[in-house]
């Protein structure tokens, strides 16, 4: 299997503290920082402004849960 994006190791996410390292996977940064969308391959969708999410991501909130 060939890696398409070497910055994020094809996960679509990089470490927020170390944006040159993947956030998950075999070569993930282990600093414990939050994930951030990969600036090369995971730019937000222009229609809704949401980047591609990690495989298996499950949202526990809905739009109805937002407080006004």
Report DSSP letters for the chain, one per residue. ---S-TTTTTSSEEESS-TTSBSSSTT---S-PPEEE-TTT-PPPTTT--PPPPTT------GGG---
Tokens (6 digits) for 65: 């849960």
- Residue among 32, 36, 40 nearest 14 (CA): 36
Tens of pLDDT along the chain (68 residues)? 576 898 998 889 999 999 999 998 888 999 999 999 999 998 887 888 888 877 777 777 766 656 55
- pTM attached to this predicted model: 0.69
């Amino acid at each position: 299997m060939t890696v398409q994006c070497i910055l994020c190791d094809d996960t679509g996410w990089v470490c927020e503290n170390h944006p040159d390292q993947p956030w998950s996977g075999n070569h993930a940064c282990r600093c414990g920082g939050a994930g951030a969308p990969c600036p090369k391959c995971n730019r937000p969708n222009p229609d809704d402004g949401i980047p591609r999410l990690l495989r298996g991501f499950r949202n526990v909130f809905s739009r109805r849960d937002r407080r006004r």
